[in-house]
Chains A and B, each alone.
Chain A
Amino acid sequence: MSEALDALVIGGGPHGLTAAAYLAQAGMRVALLEAGEATGGTCANALALGDLTVPAGAQTLYALDPRVVKELKLIRRGLKFAARDLLQIGLRADGKPLVLGRDARAAARSIAPYSQRDAAQFVDFRRELFAFARVQRALWWEDGASPGLPDELRRLGATGAAAYLDAAFESEAMKAVFAFDAMAGGMSPAAAGTSLLFAWRAAQEMCGLQGAVAVPRGGMAALVAALSGAAQAAGVAIRTGAPVARLLLSGDAVAGAILASGDEIAARIVLSSLSRRETLLTLAPAGAAGFAAAKRLSRGAEVGEAKFVLTLKAVPSFAALQPAARFLIAERLEGCIAAHAEARAGRLPAELALEAVVPTAFDSLLAPPGTDILSVLVRPLPVAPMEGWPKLAPRLSEAVLTLLERHAPGLRANIVNLICVTPKPLRDPLEIPQLRAGWRARIATPIGGLFLCGEAAEPVPALSCRTARIAAAIAVAHLKGAAR
């Protein structure tokens, strides 16, 4: 075993790369351990789809921390955006699509056929939501800040998304268009506090626009390449094909990691971008995280989302007019609440909510001419269905295709290839009270010197890299404190 490193980062996804880059920039000797053959995690183009490769994870960026983009010079390292502000389009079976863009008048015109009142209310709704969200940025963007408007935060922290939307809108169409976002992190829109998910989302900023949804040019792999470049430039030693078997402990503090190959790597601190559950239950020695914590962690998320990626011979009809959009399919908000209950019980829900994006419609780098990619996220789905995913996946595919076909007639005939990524097990359940808590409690673990730097420590699981930035700062302060 060579001399101890300052820091070890587990997981080579965007969060791990970000954390490692910040640590190295702070002068730490850092190694990053990635289990796979390449960095990128679920953002890497790791799934084969005909001649193409596609990522298994996020299909859009709506939360990437602008300070990470700036401080790690990601734009200079090649990160460009193919779309900066996707329209939010609700596809309806009972009428024309709802087009909720930044243009308030156009949005009102689109809502009016469903409800004059909602058309008039939408501008105020969005203004109030965005204003509240801006105030909460201190809490959601920075460590150690206290929440603004604490009374309002407490009120929303007890209000379900369904109740919040019921108060804001009267038409089913307007409520349903927000149903997909209300189920972030596997939550039910009826669960207390889920209205905060809208505020959290609205507090995000992409390309300088609040609440925008963007897509990198070249797909998520372009983000990975830029982050990887930043990490390497900062001096991070990246080791791929190096799965961690378990953590090394000395007393009740971390001392490094043991690889599956048996190699021991000593380090003064360890940052894990894996889930809390994987980090503390699988990698740490039994009991090290605390008995009660272990019991709490053993209950994983029950409801999750699946991803479908299709290659098509033609752009689906709904994307023909407005390609730079996220298309949301959900008939009724109430249906999503019932669907969540079904998914929780381990069954395939009768109604599903979809978010579809056609990245090839605005990014020519992704596929050769004549081929289009349709990327779809599906919620809510059981993480561990009773009959098992191998059996359920074909039924889910059929349900999703039927739903898509309803809004894009002729879609089935155009399908060349299809791949389905079933819900990820081992994910930590989203806890709404965490949306009102500070960062440190999520990042620190009961094991000294072990920090979480991935989605597990975000208030809402998302690709923001913000946790990694804050975790790196906390870890550096920890090391300096220990040195003193």
Chain B
Amino acid sequence: MNALSATPFHARTAEANKLNAWETRNGFTLASGDPGEAVAARFGAVVADISWRWRASISGARAGEFVSRLLTRDPARLQPGEGLRTLWLNDSGGVRGLGTLARMGRDAFLLISAVDDLGWLADSAALYGVEVRDVTHNEGVLALIGPATGKILAAAGLEGELQPFGLRKLFWRGLDVTLSRFGDGIELWCAPDDALIVWDRLATAGRPFALCPAGQRALDILDLERGIVQPGRDFTPARDGFSPKPSQQSLGLGALVEPDHMFNGRAGALGPGKVLTGILFDSETPAPQTVLLRGGVAVGHTLGSLVSPALRRAIALAAMDAAAAAPGTALTASGAPCRTCALPFLPEAD
């Protein structure tokens, strides 16, 4: 077994990990924290360590051609500093990955995902003479989530508007950092050696706004409340080159597929699919990967499911038949009453 790594922020997250609850993701030791930390993001702001998320740099003269063939949305329109959320599929249309592609330069891209898929990317990129490298260890990344995020960044001296799926490099009082807006909130990227300085500066700037460190459990809840599907948590990605499961249709990820774009596995990804919706349970018992029944007839299934401390009930993402996806449809999951609702569960308060 490979040794576990500590993220560049480990010294600080360990200190904040009052429950001493730990978990491992992508080979990193991470503070699990308390689910209740998610509530802080509804009023003030939380800071969470997302350095563990897999990042691969894709570079070479034909990098643009390669990512265009790889991804289910056309990245050709991206300018440097822009990103998009997308899938990549195997030859039969099975979803191998879901993540964000950012254009770093004319022939350089960065792919970010919760689950790594380096072998597939490297083998495929070799067809184009394109280089793919795992750069997960090359920087530390923090996510700032909550309504006070903007004010905290301003107080810290990190000014500037950022469009959704935008990315900007800044020089911040002697440090090279990058700000991006790829998920729920703002991400701040820095060199591993600068990580503790960055954490401390944010903590100082955030103190008047009740900035609170959050662990991975809270981060998962915030993701899910925002309606963001994450591979690994919400579905198991295909690991075979030819297996058609799970298809994007079965996961309700049609919004991440451009049918007119030519991508790997396109033939298997065409055709109508299920619709991604939210599910609100009456109880506080989550039901992940469970069939949803309406009047005894299966009309969909849940993906990931967690308890939302802010809503004080269990919630789930679900892939539903279009006919049963209207908000408010009464359903049962393993006997537990629930109903559909529109996504996101909770809006990101700016």
Q: Which A residues contact B (CB, under 8 angstroms)?
A: 251-252, 286-287, 290-296, 446
Residues of chain A with a CB closer than 8 A to B69's CB:
286-287
10 contacts between A and B (CB under 8 A): A251-B262, A287-B128, A291-B90, A291-B91, A291-B120, A292-B240, A294-B123, A294-B127, A295-B123, A446-B267
Residues of chain B with a CB closer than 8 A to A294's CB:
123-124, 127
Shortest beta-carbon distance, A299 to chain B, in Å? Answer: 12
Q: Does B22 contact A (CB under 8 A)?
A: no
Q: Does B241 contact A (CB under 8 A)?
A: yes
- A291 and B123 in contact (CB under 8 A), knowing A286-B128, A296-B241, A446-B91? yes
Shortest beta-carbon distance, A466 to chain B, in Å? Answer: 27
Which of the residues B66, B241, B262, B265 comes within 8 Å of A295, measured between beta carbons?
B241
User: Contact at B127–A286, with CB atoms within 8 Å?
Assistant: yes
Question: Other than the known A291-B127, A446-B267, what 5 A-B pairs have Cβ atoms closer than 8 Å?
Answer: A252-B266, A287-B264, A291-B120, A291-B264, A293-B241
User: Contact at A291–B124, with CB atoms within 8 Å?
Assistant: yes
In the complex, what distance in Å separates the CA atom of A187 from the CA atom of B65? 38
User: Contact at B242–A292, with CB atoms within 8 Å?
Assistant: yes
Nearest B-chain residue to A287, judged by Cβ? B69
User: Contact at A290–B265, with CB atoms within 8 Å?
Assistant: yes
Name which of B128, B240, B264 has the most chain A CB atoms within 10 A of its CB.
B264
User: Contact at B66–A287, with CB atoms within 8 Å?
Assistant: yes
Shortest beta-carbon distance, A194 to chain B, in Å? Answer: 24
In the complex, what distance in Å separates the CA atom of A292 from the CA atom of B88? 12
Chain B contact residues: helix, strand, loop or mixed: loop
Q: Quick one: CB contact mask for B54-92 with A, threshold 8 Å, 1 for yes?
A: 000000001001100110000000000000000000110
Shortest beta-carbon distance, A205 to chain B, in Å? Answer: 35
Shortest beta-carbon distance, B120 to chain A, in Å? Answer: 7
- A252 and B264 in contact (CB under 8 A), knowing A287-B128, A291-B127, A446-B91? no
In the complex, what distance in Å separates the CA atom of A294 from the CA atom of B120? 11
Shortest beta-carbon distance, B325 to chain A, in Å? Answer: 30
Residues of chain A with a CB closer than 8 A to B240's CB:
292
In the complex, what distance in Å separates the CA atom of A286 from the CA atom of B69? 9
* CB proximity to A under 8 Å, residues B288-344: none
In the complex, what distance in Å separates the CA atom of A227 from the CA atom of B120? 44
Residues of chain A with a CB closer than 8 A to B124's CB:
287, 291, 294-295
Nearest A-chain residue to B65, judged by Cβ? A286
- A290 and B262 in contact (CB under 8 A), knowing A295-B123, A446-B91? no
Nearest B-chain residue to A295, judged by Cβ? B123
In the complex, what distance in Å separates the CA atom of A293 from the CA atom of B92? 10
The interface size of chain B toward A, counting residues with CB under 8 Å, comes to 20
User: Contact at B127–A287, with CB atoms within 8 Å?
Assistant: yes
- A292 and B128 in contact (CB under 8 A), knowing A252-B266, A252-B267, A287-B66? no
User: Contact at B91–A293, with CB atoms within 8 Å?
Assistant: yes
* CB proximity to A under 8 Å, residues B98-130: 120, 123-124, 127-128
* CB proximity to A under 8 Å, residues B230-267: 240-242, 262, 264-267
User: Contact at A292–B262, with CB atoms within 8 Å?
Assistant: no
Q: 10 shortest A-B CB distances, which residue pairs?
A: A292-B241, A290-B91, A291-B124, A287-B69, A286-B127, A292-B91, A295-B123, A286-B128, A291-B264, A287-B127
In the complex, what distance in Å separates the CA atom of A286 from the CA atom of B62? 11
Which of the residues B66, B70, B90, B267 comes within 8 Å of A292, measured between beta carbons?
B90
Nearest A-chain residue to B62, judged by Cβ? A286
Residues of chain B with a CB closer than 8 A to A252's CB:
262, 266-267
Shortest beta-carbon distance, B68 to chain A, in Å? Answer: 9
In the complex, what distance in Å separates the CA atom of A286 from the CA atom of B68? 12
Name which of A252, A286, A293, A294 has the most chain B CB atoms within 10 A of its CB.
A286
Nearest A-chain residue to B265, judged by Cβ? A290
In the complex, what distance in Å separates the CA atom of A291 from the CA atom of B117? 13
Residues of chain A with a CB closer than 8 A to B123's CB:
291, 294-295
Shortest beta-carbon distance, B263 to chain A, in Å? Answer: 9
Nearest B-chain residue to A446, judged by Cβ? B91
Shortest beta-carbon distance, A383 to chain B, in Å? Answer: 21
Nearest B-chain residue to A296, judged by Cβ? B241
Nearest B-chain residue to A289, judged by Cβ? B91
Nearest A-chain residue to B266, judged by Cβ? A252
In the complex, what distance in Å separates the CA atom of A252 from the CA atom of B263? 9
Nearest B-chain residue to A294, judged by Cβ? B127
Residues of chain A with a CB closer than 8 A to B128's CB:
286-287
Nearest A-chain residue to B68, judged by Cβ? A287
Shortest beta-carbon distance, B128 to chain A, in Å? Answer: 5
Nearest B-chain residue to A252, judged by Cβ? B262
Residues of chain B with a CB closer than 8 A to A287's CB:
66, 69, 124, 127-128, 264
User: Contact at A291–B241, with CB atoms within 8 Å?
Assistant: yes
Residues of chain B with a CB closer than 8 A to A295's CB:
123-124, 241
Residues of chain B with a CB closer than 8 A to A251's CB:
262
User: Contact at B127–A290, with CB atoms within 8 Å?
Assistant: no
Residues of chain B with a CB closer than 8 A to A296's CB:
241
Nearest B-chain residue to A249, judged by Cβ? B262
In the complex, what distance in Å separates the CA atom of A320 from the CA atom of B242? 55
Residues of chain A with a CB closer than 8 A to B65's CB:
286
Shortest beta-carbon distance, B7 to chain A, in Å? Answer: 31
Shortest beta-carbon distance, A174 to chain B, in Å? Answer: 41
Shortest beta-carbon distance, A164 to chain B, in Å? Answer: 30
Residues of chain A with a CB closer than 8 A to B120's CB:
291
Shortest beta-carbon distance, B107 to chain A, in Å? Answer: 15
Residues of chain A with a CB closer than 8 A to B127's CB:
286-287, 291, 294
In the complex, what distance in Å separates the CA atom of A251 from the CA atom of B262? 7
In the complex, what distance in Å separates the CA atom of A353 from the CA atom of B123? 37
Name which of A252, A291, A295 has the most chain B CB atoms within 10 A of its CB.
A291
In the complex, what distance in Å separates the CA atom of A287 from the CA atom of B266? 12
Name which of B66, B128, B241, B265 has the most chain A CB atoms within 10 A of its CB.
B241
Name which of B91, B242, B262 has the most chain A CB atoms within 10 A of its CB.
B91
* CB proximity to A under 8 Å, residues B110-153: 120, 123-124, 127-128
Shortest beta-carbon distance, A262 to chain B, in Å? Answer: 21
Residues of chain B with a CB closer than 8 A to A291's CB:
70, 90-91, 120, 123-124, 127, 241, 264
Nearest A-chain residue to B127, judged by Cβ? A286
Shortest beta-carbon distance, A446 to chain B, in Å? Answer: 7
In the complex, what distance in Å separates the CA atom of A296 from the CA atom of B90? 13
Shortest beta-carbon distance, A150 to chain B, in Å? Answer: 24
Residues of chain A with a CB closer than 8 A to B262's CB:
251-252
Shortest beta-carbon distance, A377 to chain B, in Å? Answer: 34
In the complex, what distance in Å separates the CA atom of A461 from the CA atom of B262? 33
In the complex, what distance in Å separates the CA atom of A286 from the CA atom of B65? 9
Shortest beta-carbon distance, B94 to chain A, in Å? Answer: 10
Nearest B-chain residue to A290, judged by Cβ? B91
In the complex, what distance in Å separates the CA atom of A326 from the CA atom of B222? 76
Shortest beta-carbon distance, B193 to chain A, in Å? Answer: 36
Shortest beta-carbon distance, A292 to chain B, in Å? Answer: 2
Residues of chain B with a CB closer than 8 A to A286's CB:
62, 65-66, 69, 127-128
Shortest beta-carbon distance, B65 to chain A, in Å? Answer: 8
Residues of chain A with a CB closer than 8 A to B241's CB:
290-293, 295-296
Shortest beta-carbon distance, B269 to chain A, in Å? Answer: 12
Residues of chain A with a CB closer than 8 A to B90's CB:
291-292
In the complex, what distance in Å separates the CA atom of A294 from the CA atom of B91? 10
Shortest beta-carbon distance, A458 to chain B, in Å? Answer: 22
Residues of chain A with a CB closer than 8 A to B91's CB:
290-293, 446
Residues of chain A with a CB closer than 8 A to B242's CB:
292
In the complex, what distance in Å separates the CA atom of A65 from the CA atom of B85? 53
In the complex, what distance in Å separates the CA atom of A291 from the CA atom of B126? 10
